[in-house]
Structure 1
Amino acid sequence: MSQRPRLFGWRCCACLLLIVALIWAAVHQLRQPLWDEPEIVLEMGGTYEGLRKKSSAPFSPEIRGHIWSGIPMTDAKLRFVDSQFGFTTPAARFFSVGFDDNVIYSVRMSPQIEPLLIDDALKVVLDLQNQWRERGWVAKGLRENPTIADTPEWRAYLRKGILSGRSFWQAGDKYQAMLLLGRFEDYRNPTEERYLITLALAKPWVPFDEIEDLYNEPSHFPAPQPRQ
């Protein structure tokens, strides 16, 4: 008789533990997309408070001062908010947001978690350029900085590791983006060709319409021009 209450109690505890485990697993499954892909939701001219409220990735505390930079506290992708010119990036480990009196004025990031093989790096770069093109961004400075393409000429140019591929894009008079793709010596993969992407975004800072015809000296290492 004394064994039955103990056995009954043990079974109740086991059932309760099983139910708790199932509930935890279900909650984990529902929240997993948020954990896997945290994002920084950013609007140029928006505020620090707005960025923290809209983003699913935790962000560094405010630093008192006129101009300062903040960073996400985890790997995070960028969702750049604009009704016409918005775009998204893959998750980034290097990600810095510039603030002026807590108002966002710049972004600098590397839209990747680690240095990438050339195939993967070009996929990221071409996707960003395609997003910009489809959203009405215009490539600028094409004579010296043609848009990056997946061609044998571009692959050979990047493989040299002398200069990075560079393209500039502009969204009306609102934003300008500079995209860099260069070879990177990755100490963790010393026998592989790895590449690093850098994206800088702010209000237009290079006046291409004014300077494009001022310099005619050819580059010693010209980037590949688009095929005719």
Structure 2
Amino acid sequence: MAIRKAGWRWRITGAMLTLAVMWGGFVAIRPADQVVLTIGEPYEQVRLQSRSTLPIATQDNSIDLHVKRPAALRFSDIQYGFVTPAAKFLSIYADAHGYVRSITLSPQVETLPLDATMAILLDLQNQLQRGGWRPILVGRHPPMMDTPQTRALMRANLAPQTFWLAGNKYQVSIDVRRFVHENRPADERYLITLQLSGPPLMEDRPNE
């Protein structure tokens, strides 16, 4: 009897291990989540065309329609489109008629070291420039460059920002903040925030 019970235990254990391996393989080959949208699209259309955990919109949650699992953003405007890395925080605001009006995300799944943060910032800005976006308010908020001065601002947690316009259609703001763990003051970690919306747009003031 004891031998028979032990045999069943081994079979159950083997089955569980097989399921674990199969699940791991599924996760490995499953396409990464991606939210696909343009500003002004119906939210339900965005939800259906995206591969994500975006919820069904209700009267209670339309101001914060956020993903439950990390997802990249693919802004699908033909001229001004761009793609971000996967974001753990990604939230859409839809108006009372169900149309997407803005999106806020941090294009990362965790706070990142300075070098990795800078790489994402530069890639995002390069995509904007290639797509015809124009930086504004450059007197006080120039595009972020990988320079000692920019890194010093980031290390000092002075929250450098940059602002961009896409014709008369869209605007983007990008900022970065430093997070310091009280037990690891030398561990530099950073969080990028990108906000995308449509009109009314900011006005460019070349001297600001």
**Superposition TM-score tier, normalisation by shorter sequence:** 0.7 to 0.9
Q: CA deviation at 1:91?
A: 0.7
Gaps of 5+ in 1: 1-13, 216-228
Deviates more, 1:177-186 or 1:140-149: 177-186
Rounded to whole Å, the distance in 1 between the matches of 2:124 and 2:90 is 16
Give the secondary-structure state (helix, strand or coil) at the position aligned to 2:30: helix
Question: 1:154 is matched with which residue?
Answer: 150
- Given residue 120 of structure 1, which amino acid in structure 2 is its aligned partner? A
After TM superposition, the structure 1 = structure 2 runs for residues 41-120 of structure 1, keeping only pairs within 5 Å, are 41-64=36-59, 68-100=63-95, 101-120=97-116
- Contact kept? 1:115, 1:186, Cα under 8 Å: no
Q: Deviation digits for residues 47-91 of structure 1, max 9, x if unmatched?
A: 121111111112122112696220112111101111010100011
Q: Against the structure 1 CA distance between its residues 158 and 68, is the aligned structure 2 distance closer, same or farther, given a 3 Å change threshold?
A: closer
| Structure 1 letter corresponding to 2:144 | I
What is the RMSD computed on CA atoms of the aligned residues? 2.6
Contact 2:44/2:56 (CA < 8 Å) preserved in 1? Answer: no
**Identity among equivalent pairs (%):** 34
1:196: how far off? 0.9
Task: Give the aligned residue type for 2:69.
Answer: T
Which residue does the alignment assign to 1:176? Answer: 171
Q: Deviations over 1:78-112 (max 9, x none)?
A: 01111010100011111110000210000011111
- In structure 2, the residue matched to 1:223 is none
Runs (4 or more) in structure 1 with deviation over 3 Å come to 27-35, 186-191, 204-207
Gaps of 5+ in 2: 1-10
CA-CA distance at 1:185 after TM superposition: 2.3
Q: TM-score, normalised by structure 2?
A: 0.82
Partner of 1:224: none
Paired AA for residue 156 in structure 1: A
- 2:82 and 2:127 in contact (8 A); partners too: yes
* Distance in 2 (alpha carbons) for counterparts of 1:188 and 1:70: 34
Are the counterparts in 1 of residues 62 and 94 from structure 2 also a CA contact under 8 Å?
yes
Shift in Å, 1:42: 1.3
Deviation at 1:152, TM superposition (A): 1.2
Partner of 1:124: 120
How many residue pairs match? The answer is 192
Cα–Cα, structure 1 residues 204 and 126, in superposed 2: closer, same or farther, change >3 Å? farther
Aligned residue number for residue 5 of structure 2:
none
Partner Cα separation in structure 2 for residue 65 and residue 165 of structure 1 = 34
Instruction: Decide which moves more: 182-191 or 77-86.
Output: 182-191
Normalising to structure 1: TM-score of the pair?
0.75
Contact (CA 8 Å) 1:170, 1:204: kept in 2 or not? Answer: no
